[in-house]
Amino acid sequence: MIIVTGAAGFIGSALLGHLQHLGYGELVAVDDFSHAEKAPNLEGKSLLHRIERSEFLAWLPTQAHKVQFIFHIGARTKTNEFDEQVLQSLNVDYSKSIWAVCVEHSIPLIYASSAATYGDGAEGFSDDPALLTQLKPLNPYGSSKHRFDLWVMEQQAAGTVPPFWAGFKFFNVFGPNEYHKGRMASVVFHAFNQWRDTGLVTLFKSHRSDYADGAQERDFIYVKDVLSVLTHFFVNRKNSGLYNLGTGECRTFLDLVRAVFGALDAPEKLSYIDMPLDIRDRYQYHTQANMQRLQEAGYRVPFTPLEVAVADYVQGYLQSHRYL
C-alpha cells in the first residue's frame, strides 16, 4: 500500500492521480472527507481505502506491515490560522505520530514542510540544516511547520529515523486541483476567475517603500514539477533530508498575472487593492529557494518556465475545469 495523507486536498489529490497514471495500485487516501467541495479531487481515483484523518493513527499500526510508503502531505495549511492548539495538534503532534510508526515499522516517509518557515527571508532561503535554528517564521502556520522540522532534525541526530525520509519546503505551488481552496488558492487561479467574471484582475498593493505594487516576489512552482520531485525520491529512496522545493528563481506577481493574460490572449487590465489587515504584518515580500542541496541529492530535471506552466494550467485545466 502507498498512503497519501491530505489526499482530498490540492497537492495530495494531484499526487494520487500522478501515482495512478504511473501504474501504482493499492493507493490509500487519508483526509477529513466531510468537506464536499473537495470531493471532485478524488473522482476517477482508484483507491484501496479511504481512511478518515481522525481514525488513521489508530488504523496505521494495524496495517503497517502492508505499507510500502507514506506521503504525509496533509496539514492545516491556512496561513491566516491563529489557533495554536489546532496547528500544534494537526501539524506537529499528528506528524510526530506518523513518524513514530514509520520508525517502528521501517516505512519510508516523505512529508510536506513549507517555505513559510523562512519568515521574511532575512536569514536567507538556504535549506542547510545547520541554519535551521536561525529561522523566524512570520505566522503561526509557518511556526508549526518549523517546530516539526526542528524535531525531525533532533530525531536524525539521535538516529531515530525511518529507513528513508525526506521533508520538502514547498514554495508557492500552483496548478490543477486547487478549485476548492477559496482565498488560499493561487494567484493564477484567482486571476483567471477575475478575468472571466469581470475582465479585470486585481493584485495587492505593496505596503513597503522598497517594493512597487505588484513587484512582490515569489518562487512559483508548478504542481507537476512538485510531483516530479516527489516521485524521484519515492523511486530512488536515497539522500534522506530536508529540502527546498521551489524552482530557484523568483518572479513578481505582475509577471504571473501577465502570464495569465498571455495564456488567455487577452489585453492586460489590472488594478491594485489594499492588502488585508490580517496578513499585512506577516506578509512575505520575497521568496527564492536555494536549490543546491536538491541538485546535489540527484534531482537535476529542469523546472517548467513560469509562462509555460501558467499556459498549461489555464488552457489545459482552468478553462475546462479539468482535474489532474
Phi and psi, residue 169, nearest 5°: -85, 95
Q: What is the 3-state secondary structure (H, E, C) of 88-107?
A: HHHHHHHHHHHHHHHHHHCC
- Residues present in the chain in total: 324
Grid cell locating 64: 503497517
- If one counts every other C-beta atom within 10 angstroms of the C-beta of residue 194, the result is 19
283 is catalytic: no
Q: Which of 100, 158, 184, 167 is nearest to 129 (CA)?
A: 167
Is the CB of residue 37 less than 8 Å from the CB of residue 180?
yes
Q: Which residues of the chain have pLDDT under 70?
A: 77-82
CB 13 within 8 A of CB 45: yes
Beta bridge partners of 242: 167
118 Cβ contact partners less than 8 Å away, ≥ 6 residues apart: 124, 125, 135, 137, 142, 169, 284, 287
Residue 172 pairs in a beta bridge with 220
Predicted pLDDT at 79? 59
On the CB side of 193, how many CA atoms lie within 13 Å of its CA? 11
Among the options 94, 111, 118, 141, which is catalytic?
141
Q: Which fold, 2-171+221-247+289-304?
A: Rossmann fold (3.40.50)
Report the C-alpha gap between 72 and 74 in whole angstroms.
6
The alpha carbon of residue 223 and the mean position of all alpha carbons in its chain are separated, in whole angstroms, by: 8
Domain boundaries, the chain: 2-171+221-247+289-304
Distances (CA, A) of 94 to 57, 72, 177, 216: 8, 10, 24, 34
Q: What is the pLDDT of residue 284?
A: 87
The model carries a pTM of 0.95
pLDDT at position 282: 81
Among the options 78, 181, 205, 224, which is catalytic?
A: 181
141 is catalytic: yes
**pLDDT for position 76:** 79
d(CA 145, CA 264): 36
> CA–CA separation, 83 vs 85, rounded Å?
5
| Residues of the chain above pLDDT 90, percent | 91
